Amino acid sequence: PILNPGRVGEPKKQAAKKRRGTQIRKSMEFEKRKATTMAAIASTEIDKSPKGTIDTPIIPLLNTLNNHPSYFTTSSCSGRISIFSHLPNKPKGGRWLFISHEPADPNSFLDLLFSESTQPESDHHLVFRFEPLIIAVECKDVGSAQFLVSLAISSGFRESGITSVSSKRVIIAIRCSIRMEVPLGSRREILVSRDYLKYLVEIANEKMDANWKRTQGFMEALRKNGFMGSASMPELGNGSMGLSVGINENENGVSCEEDGCGDVNPEMTNARTDCGNLS
């Protein structure tokens, strides 16, 4: 049969047109999700986390990421020092007895755990934790995701990577491995000494300082690569701010894993319902 020269390239043209249509649709869906998230961030209403607000120290960093047309943050944690209480064999249920998003005062821990007025809490196990910065970011495409992951890794967040790729969304996690977790015993019987607890707080404070230096370095790397941000990163204090005791005393409790600090939830679309908002 004799082919019509005008129709030889028709299938390729149709395929290219379909790809362009898909790209436009994905871009519109991305912009819609971003607009919804930005509206939630700007809202004065409290979010679903126990604290109810975004961690203040990293607001400039989040704004810098969100000002870029290819990204928006979906959850975040600036880093925290905490004591977590949970029932044996139930690490996903419990509550925080202490949380600070800044270097902590060792005496605050001593007063909490060794005070004579402390009420026993059955056999709840106690865990001392330091958890570094973690931010989940939705990216416009895989190329944008790879670029941001590369910047994060070069800034010291070496566990960063793409955590979810689907036909609709690309999610990355910015994180590193300087966390620590140490069992302390139970509310009935603390198995560590006062001096050892002070030692743990000193190590956690050193890690908090290292975490903050990496965070500042990441912010600087973003600015050097065209990300726009007006406010500078604040300096960490001495633990007098961002500290809470006895958070989330509801019956069911909540664990670090459940609130997203340990594991990024790729389906979380509200940047204010994040793990870091627990102080």
CATH number, domain of 68, equals 3.30.1960.10
Closest CA to 247 of 212, 208, 275: 275
Domain annotation covers residue 74: yes
- Type of residue found at 56: T
Tokens of 56: 């203040």
| pLDDT computed for residue 260 by the predictor | 40
Domain annotation covers residue 268: no
Q: Is the pLDDT of residue 147 over 60?
A: yes
Domain annotation covers residue 231: yes
Q: Which residue(s) pair with 72 in the sheet?
A: 138
Domain annotation covers residue 109: yes
Instruction: Write the Ramachandran bin of 213: left for phi over 0, alpha for psi from -120 to 50, otherwise beta.
Output: alpha
CA distance 21 to 23: 5
Query: Taking the CA atoms of the chain, what radius of gyration do you get in angstroms?
Result: 23
Least confident among 32-36, 38-42, 256-260 = 256-260
HSE (side-chain half, CA atoms, 13 Å) at 23: 8
Instruction: Write the Ramachandran bin of 122: left for phi over 0, alpha for psi from -120 to 50, otherwise beta.
Output: left
Domain annotation covers residue 87: yes
CA distance 233 to 60: 6
Q: Is the pLDDT of residue 45 over 70?
A: yes
Which is more confidently placed, 271 or 39? 39
Domain annotation covers residue 137: yes
Q: Is 95 helix (H, G, I), strand (E, B) or coil?
A: strand
Tokens of 87: 């029932």
Q: Which domain holds residue 187?
A: 10-259
CA distance 207 to 129: 11
Least confident among 17-26, 63-72, 222-231 = 17-26
Total domains, the chain? 1
Task: Note the pLDDT tens digit of each residue in 173-223.
Answer: 999 999 999 999 988 889 999 999 999 999 999 999 999 999 999 999 999
Domain annotation covers residue 3: no
CA distance 215 to 152: 9
Domain annotation covers residue 235: yes
Closest CA to 255 of 81, 122, 121, 96: 96
> How many other CB atoms sit within 10 Å of the CB of residue 236?
22
